[in-house]
Amino acid sequence: MANSTEGRVPFLDHRVVEFAYSLPRAYKLSNWGESKKILKDAMRPYLPGYILDRRKAGFGMPLRSLFSKPERVWSLLDKKFFGDFDNFSVADIERLVENHTEGREDDASLIYALISFQEWYKIFLN
């Protein structure tokens, strides 16, 4: 989680962090590459195996629902910004947003990419 906010607040307590750093490697990583060994062993009496032994899963952003209303999308997308570029068609972007918000297409990822590009450009190249 090098580039995001850590959500496991109890593990941020400095005493827990200092304790974790003081432990030998074998307590944190088993011989078979199992990570968080001591934490899993400590929680085994309280959590079912399907929780402790499952594969790591990422957290996906709910982009489709975040961009479900045209007002929300247009509050984040700047038509004038894209109109200043030869390689972008505002009409195509409007059609993309309309198709998405009316449920004909799922273009949430593309809308997110446009917003990300816009913000990146404004920060670094404007």
111: number of Cβ within 10 Å:
22
Q: Are residues 77 and 34 located together in one domain of the fold?
A: no
Domain span at residue 72? 63-124
Query: For residue 118, which of 83, 94, 69 has the smallest C-alpha distance?
Result: 83
The 10s digit of each residue's pLDDT in 10-27 is 667 888 889 888 988 877
Give the integer Cα–Cα distance in Å for 36 and 59: 19
**Is 28:34 a contact under the CB 8 Å cutoff?**
no
Please check whether residue 15 lies inside any domain of the structure: yes
Q: What is the pLDDT of residue 2?
A: 52
Helix or strand holding residue 67 (H, E): none
Radius of gyration of the chain measured on its C-alpha atoms: 22
Q: Are residues 69 and 115 located together in one domain of the fold?
A: yes
pTM: 0.60
Domain count, the chain: 2
Q: Are residues 112 and 68 located together in one domain of the fold?
A: yes
Q: What is the mean pLDDT of residues 78-85?
A: 96
